[in-house]
Structure 1
Amino acid sequence: MQITVIVATLGRRKEADDLVQDLANQTRRPDRSIFAVTTEADAPDRHPEIDNETLICATKGLCAQRNAGIAQAIDSSDVIVFFDDDFVPHPTYLARLEAAFAKSEDVVGITGLVVADGVCGPGLSRQQAVTAIDAHAASFPTGIPRETEVFGLYGCNMAMRTSALKTKRFDERLPLYGWLEDLDLTNRLLEEGRLIKLDRLIGAHRGVKAGRVSGIRLGYSQIANASYLLAKGTTTRSQLFGHLVKYPMINAVRSLKPEPFVDRRGRLRGNLIGLVDLARGKSKPERILEL
């Protein structure tokens, strides 16, 4: 089984270097690892044991950079794994992923168990992430065999069969951070087979704040991207309707006493602009480029 890891990264050279070392430490190393960047300055150092590749992309944005990686890899790969640059995989991740795909031919996409996630908090240090992974692995040395069918994969760590991916790509109308891009693409994979969350695949998502979009842009995307995908029909109303209500409420309440690591007032402003655009019939994901 030919496994390629694709990492779209922007402004996180240190995290990208750490992930290269994590890939070299895998008990089953990737056959290819491609780091999709927009500038050479973001490219991690080459590692002699995995010979990671640098792909310079013409367009900045998670979807565009991942699509460029797919174009580079799809003809030579059976499975493509997407890791966020701040994801820390356990050394057994790829070996257990390969075994899971080999065991169940009807499974077309897999995501793992995130034992610690800093995305909703101030973020995790590298050491905090490693400590959380080690503690879980010590408690469950052979891994938890639990397998759950899901209707979308978590974008920080997700793998897809290329035979199911075919011509499906990330939607580049979701610019920059690509909010909900994982749900959009992986819901379409359900046409080809099952998606599962496998708790034997473990890692931690640091949730590093560097390189993220502004609060107002993210707030707008929380509304515009959700309404766009509802109209597009690639996701269900039950999956996304809550976004149109939940995030404005959360941002409104927390903007009264915002966390130091989140631009709550910027997000709320973006939510409100998004709701006004939606009411006027002028909502579109690309508008964040104007904000």
Structure 2
Amino acid sequence: MRANANEHIVVGIATAGRRDVLEKMLWQLTLQRKLPDRVIICPATDHDFDESIISKLPYPIEVVRGARGLCAQRNLILKKISHDDLVVFFDDDFYPAVDFLEKTISCFSASPDFVAMTGVVIVDGALGPGIEHDEALRILSSHSECTDLTPDTIYNVYGCNMAFRASIIRDSSAAFDENLPLYSWLEDVDFSRSMSSKGAIGQSRSLRGVHLATKRGRTSGVRFGYSQIANPIYMAKKGTFAWSRAFFQMGRNVTANLARCVNPEPWVDRRGRLKGNLVAVSDLFRGRLHPRRVLEIS
């Protein structure tokens, strides 16, 4: 199925501290068979995006600015999608296959009951030290296209690549929860579950890409460790994360941090994360655990 030329699709990118990575990703978007009708970029600071590149790219770019934090930045992007049919959020270090946007339109057209979709991450650098630019290109070129547009129903989309029907977001005034600050860990789960009452959440095998998971621009280990406890509990209390999933997620994270703190991976601050876990547990018993408390932690 070919993309409908009348469909509008906008790409939103929130970015912080990865100026050169973002520029490479924007050039990757020029390879899309269906170019985005707009790309909306929300940099955390003026230094995070070189606007001189705008005139060199074959698609329009709009820049919005506001408070730092993934949820806050994505909400600024959402405020700009009033007339677009589909909105796709990419991380600034996600390289989509050349047919990603074209197939996104086709997938939503073929599955009208779905309000959100995510693709298959061929290789995810978040599971290791990250992936370099050239290696990501090699991985993409070695994988053939998938023509199956039928999505599988899933619990949540994956934040590095997630697409939504803009009309559902507009009509329901949906927004990312800014009580999940900074890196906004699990914001993809939270937003997915808030949208699930409007329709199905899906994953399509025809949507593919590589997540470089560049390690620059990340939250400190202590802060991230705090969020590993505070965010799941906060989301479970408000009903966007099942308690069983929250306990499993927290248990897995604490166990990994504890087991690896003596001999940690070079790219993970396990000791910092474990310290953050312990601070969060202490706050829980004191009755002051909240995701925004992470802003007070150095």
Structure 2 match to 1:268? 274
Please give the secondary structure, in 1, of the residue aligned with 2:201.
Answer: strand
Give the Cα separation in 2 of the matches to 1:225 and 1:142.
Answer: 35
AA aligned to 1:112 is: G
Structure 2 match to 1:70? 78
Whether 1:290 and 2:296 are equivalent positions in the alignment is yes
- 1:223–1:244 contact (8 Å) kept in structure 2: yes
Q: Larger deviation: 45-54 or 16-25?
A: 45-54
Please give the secondary structure, in 1, of the residue aligned with 2:80.
Answer: helix
AA aligned to 2:109 is: A
Deviation at 1:164, TM superposition (A): 1.9
Please give the secondary structure, in 2, of the residue aligned with 1:82.
Answer: strand
Structure 2 match to 1:52? 61
Deviation at 1:48, TM superposition (A): 3.4
Whether 1:163 and 2:167 are equivalent positions in the alignment is yes
TM-score (norm 2): 0.93
- 2:37–2:60 contact (8 Å) kept in structure 1: no
Please give the secondary structure, in 1, of the residue aligned with 2:98.
Answer: coil
Deviation at 1:146, TM superposition (A): 6.0
Deviation at 1:273, TM superposition (A): 0.7
CA deviation string 1:227-269 (max 9, x = no partner):
1001111121232221221111110000010111111000000
AA aligned to 1:264 is: R
Show structure 1 runs of 4+ deviating over 2 A. 141-147
Distance 1:91 1:249, change over 3 A: same
CA deviation string 1:173-214 (max 9, x = no partner):
100000010100111111111111001100000010000000
Structure 2 match to 1:112? 119
Please give the secondary structure, in 1, of the residue aligned with 2:207.
Answer: strand
TM-score (norm 1): 0.95
Give the Cα separation in 2 of the matches to 1:244 and 1:65.
Answer: 26
Q: Larger deviation: 124-133 or 77-86?
A: 124-133
Deviation at 1:118, TM superposition (A): 0.6
Give the Cα separation in 1 of the matches to 2:26 and 2:83.
Answer: 20
Return 5+ residue gaps in structure 2 as ranges: 1-6
Distance 1:143 1:135, change over 3 A: farther
Please give the secondary structure, in 1, of the residue aligned with 2:127.
Answer: coil
- 1:23–1:50 contact (8 Å) kept in structure 2: no
AA aligned to 2:152 is: T
Whether 1:20 and 2:26 are equivalent positions in the alignment is yes
AA aligned to 2:65 is: I
Deviation at 1:143, TM superposition (A): 4.4
Give the Cα separation in 2 of the matches to 1:259 and 1:151.
Answer: 29
Match of 1:152 among 151, 156, 159: 156
Give the Cα separation in 1 of the matches to 2:30 and 2:83.
Answer: 20
Give the Cα separation in 1 of the matches to 2:28 and 2:57.
Answer: 13
Give the Cα separation in 2 of the matches to 1:120 and 1:51.
Answer: 33
- 1:29–1:50 contact (8 Å) kept in structure 2: yes
- 1:36–1:55 contact (8 Å) kept in structure 2: yes
AA aligned to 1:66 is: R
- 2:27–2:57 contact (8 Å) kept in structure 1: no
- 1:174–1:181 contact (8 Å) kept in structure 2: yes
Q: Larger deviation: 156-165 or 234-243?
A: 234-243
Give the Cα separation in 1 of the matches to 2:39 and 2:276.
Answer: 36
Structure 1 match to 2:253? 247
Return 5+ residue gaps in structure 1 as ranges: none
Whether 1:92 and 2:99 are equivalent positions in the alignment is yes
- 1:152–1:182 contact (8 Å) kept in structure 2: yes
